[in-house]
């Protein structure tokens, strides 16, 4: 088993302070978690392998990502930084990378213009392009024979539908088929978030995580639902993910990155120091 990455996620919204990290359940009922730069410094010191910075309302509000906060964060951390939210053009990708990000994450813009994935990969390299896929379970399998049907632990059958604008809009797009398409277009990684699990503390959505991990060659970052270190372990062992992303358990002091890595080492899951 290859070394697994632990990635804290900073979900940021614009406010009078210039940017605040928040966390909710299924992207709703947001509560404040702190200053993004200070939290980034904390996770850097705790041994996080990477950081993801998501401006979660930029696309919905039709504005650009917060460059100032990105620059200040990049100046304080010395691990790879992925930035997403409101990135809809090659020019914007260039601006984010120049501000100090190592990778960009595109979600809504990729769905609306898939060629942006190809253009970004061609210009900046696949290693810079992360496609974020937010998805929800859809139980209507009878009327969707063209979708990728996945059997859940309880024997029920669903397909996973891509949602955009921070989970506010369903697209009718099959998440597995979409993931394969963006891989072909040149994406270097997939950041997979199950909206059904986001902020619930119930663990990753293992069926869709495992499906993408088995079907794709590029790394899968599992996201949504981590409530304890055991959930990270399940994401790697049962879900076969390459990296695990979490927010709530780190932001609100329940566990540190070191706590999670210690648990993983004790259970024979290889992680970086």
Out of 11, 49, 55, 174, pick the active-site residue: 11
**How does DSSP assign 73-86, residue by residue?**
HHHH--S-EEEESS
Residue reference for tokens 């270097």: 188
Whether 11 is a known active-site residue: answer yes
Distance between CA 63 and CA 238 in Å, rounded?
Answer: 38
The alpha carbon of 93 is separated from its chain's Cα centroid by a whole number of angstroms, namely 17
Whether 35 is a known active-site residue: answer no
The four Cα atoms 48, 54, 56, 59 give a dihedral, to 10 degrees, of -170
Q: Which distant-in-sequence residues (6+ apart) come within 8 Å of 272 by Cβ? A: 3, 5, 47, 49, 261
Out of 35, 49, 55, 134, pick the active-site residue: 134
Distance between CA 132 and CA 243 in Å, rounded?
Answer: 13
* Residues with catalytic function: 11, 134
């Amino acid at each position: 088993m290859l070394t697994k990455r632990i990635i804290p996620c900073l979900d940021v919204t614009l406010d009078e302070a210039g940017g605040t990290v928040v966390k909710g359940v299924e992207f709703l009922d947001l509560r404040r978690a702190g200053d993004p730069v200070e939290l980034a410094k904390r996770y850097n010191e705790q041994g996080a392998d990477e950081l993801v910075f998501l401006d979660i309302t930029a696309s919905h509000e039709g504005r650009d990502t917060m460059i100032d906060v990105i620059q200040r964060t990049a100046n304080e951390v010395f691990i790879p930084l992925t930035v997403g939210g409101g990135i809809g053009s090659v020019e914007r990708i260039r601006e984010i990378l120049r501000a100090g990000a190592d990778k960009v994450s595109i979600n809504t813009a990729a769905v609306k213009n898939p060629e942006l994935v190809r253009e970004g990969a061609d210009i900046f390299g696949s290693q810079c392009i992360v496609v974020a896929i937010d998805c929800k379970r859809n139980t209507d399998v009878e009327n969707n024979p063209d979708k990728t049907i996945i059997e859940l632990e309880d024997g029920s059958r669903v397909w996973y539908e891509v949602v955009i604008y921070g989970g506010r809009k369903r697209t009718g797009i099959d998440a597995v088929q979409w993931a394969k398409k963006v891989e072909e277009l040149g994406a270097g990684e997939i950041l997979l978030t199950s909206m059904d699990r986001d902020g619930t503390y119930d663990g990753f959505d293992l069926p869709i995580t495992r499906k993408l991990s088995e079907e794709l060659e590029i790394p899968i970052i599992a996201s949504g639902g981590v409530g304890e270190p055991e959930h990270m372990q399940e994401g790697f062992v049962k879900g076969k993910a390459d990296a695990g992303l979490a927010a709530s358990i780190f932001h609100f002091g329940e566990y540190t990155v070191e706590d999670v890595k210690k648990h993983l080492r004790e259970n024979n899951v290889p992680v970086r120091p």
